[in-house]
Amino acid sequence: MNTVKLTINGKQYEIEKGTFVLKACSDIGIDIPTMCHDERLVPSGSCRLCQVEVEGWGKLHTACTTQVKEGMVIHTHSEKVVKARQDLLDMLISNHPLDCLTCESAGACKLQDLCYEYGITEGTYRWEMSKPYYDDTNPFYTFDASKCILCGLCVRVCDELQGTNAIGFENRGFETLVATPFGEGLENSTCVSCGNCVSVCPVGALEPRSKMKFRQWEIETTRTTCSYCGVGCQMDLKTKNNRVVGVEPAFDAHNEGLLCVKGKFSYNFLSHPDRLTMPLVRKDGVLVETTWDEAYNVITSKMKQTKEDFGSDSFAGLTSARCTNEDNYMFQKMFRSTLGTNNVDHCARL
């Protein structure tokens, strides 16, 4: 293996060439704060919080954009580094509403956490604030520019991973804003409401709409498979009192932190009173709840009867694109070999 030897916080390490300092540090358990980093994206170096000191290299260097080099002597938490991070956080919080009490993201907000960690209170420069801008035209999520720290993650995810390019930056300098082209609002943009931007927003600027109020520390998460299609995206359901209040994509699965609009936002039916949670059989003209065993018994006996009475071709089967390939395969197999008919098709046929 092609490696370099270097020193991080006084200890020697041997690390694979080409590794970024941020990754090298996280692999050895050193936590460097980041706001704009996402392993899936091209590094942008915009938040500047991951800066570290490299002896003999002059000014500070961002760990997320710097590769390890032979003989480097890195300090991730030196006085100079900590001071710079504090100053940057101070600048951010100075131009930020202190709404943590009512903010939906409180408890799951990087700005809040880092200000706590680095001892930043209300901000030294609470003078002019960015102009407020609020976009609530999307049915699934809202955007509050006053809470946006312009990390750029949403823009980059929409561009590099989602491939939709619905949002970008507008204006310059202090007036910079995440916006849709020509300021026409999300509703009139090419946004497909996948919510992948919402999932990466490190603060409360992009918020999913939720029917229920909850605090981030009240929720339980349960890993599950999205039932909407055969891709089988992994997701963590956020529940409070056994009710689903939100969905986060799993990063450690094949969907790598992405979902589509259905997986991300369409969960409210789960606790809808009309939802069937038990099989029903019609008894004396009325649908009544029953057990799965009984339901299957009814189905198989009726199928046998029908085959005897009317023959195989009296059956027709239609499956769904939501099922996996394996399910669809089994379904047609059952129709062809058990029921003995080729009358089987799939809803995705156009």
Partner 1 sequence: MITKEKLFEIKEKTKPSLVEKLLEGDRVEFRGDDLVLKGEYYKKQVRIALKNCDIIDPTDIDEYIAFDGYFALLKALTEQEPGDVVAEITESLLRGRGGAGFPTGRKWNEAYKFDADKKYIICNADEGDPGAFMDRSILEKDPHSVLEGMAIGGYAIGSDQGYIYVRAEYPMAVKRLEIAIKQAKEYGLLGNNIFGTGFNFDIELRLGSGAFVCGEGTALMESIEGRRGMPRPKLYRTAHKGLWGKPTIINNVETLANVPAIMNKGAKWFRSIGTEESPGTKVFALVGKVENAGLVEVPMGMTLREIVFDIGGGAQDGKEYKAVQTGGPSGGCIPADLIDTPVDFESLGKIWSIMGSGGMVVMDENTCMVDIAKFFLDFSVDESCGKCVPCREGTKRMHEILDRITKGEGVEGDIERLENLSKTVSSTSLCGLGQTAPNPVITTIKYYRHEYEAHIKDKSCPAKSCKALIKYEITDDCIGCTRCAKVCPVVAITGKVKEKHLIDQAICIKCGACYDVCPVDAISII
Q: At what angle do helices 110-117 and 79-94 cross, to 10 degrees?
A: 130
User: Taking CB under 6 A as the rule, does residue 48 contact ligand FES?
Assistant: yes
Residue 88 interacts, among ligand SF4, partner 1, ligand FES, none and using kind-specific CB cut-offs from 5 to 8 Å, with partner 1
The residue from 8, 22, 25, 88 that contacts partner 1 (CB under 8 A) is 88
The stretches of 107-248 forming alpha helices (DSSP H) are 110-117, 153-156, 196-200
The H or E element that residue 135 is part of is strand 134-135
Closer residue to ligand FES, CB minimum distance, 66 or 180: 66
Long-range contacts at 6-13 (CB < 8 A, ≥ 24 apart): 6/68, 6/69, 6/70, 6/71, 6/72, 6/73, 6/74, 7/72, 7/73, 7/74, 8/74, 8/76, 9/74, 9/75, 9/76, 9/77
Closer residue to ligand FES, CB minimum distance, 62 or 319: 62
Residue 50 interacts, among ligand SF4, partner 1, ligand FES, none and using kind-specific CB cut-offs from 5 to 8 Å, with ligand FES
Residue 176 interacts, among ligand FES, ligand SF4, partner 1, none and using kind-specific CB cut-offs from 5 to 8 Å, with partner 1
23-35 core/surface letters (b: 16 or more CB in 10 A; e: else):
bbbbeeebebbbb
> 346 has which bridge partners?
319
User: Taking CB under 8 A as the rule, does residue 62 contact partner 1?
Assistant: yes
Residues of this chain that interact with ligand FES (CB under 6 A) are 34-37, 45-50, 62, 64
Residues of this chain that interact with ligand SF4 (CB under 6 A) are 96, 99-100, 103, 105-106, 109, 111-112, 147-154, 157-158, 162, 164, 166-167, 178, 191-197, 200-206
Residues of this chain that interact with partner 1 (CB under 8 A) are 42-49, 51, 59-60, 62, 64-65, 83-84, 87-88, 91-92, 94-95, 124-125, 127-128, 149-150, 152, 168-169, 171-176
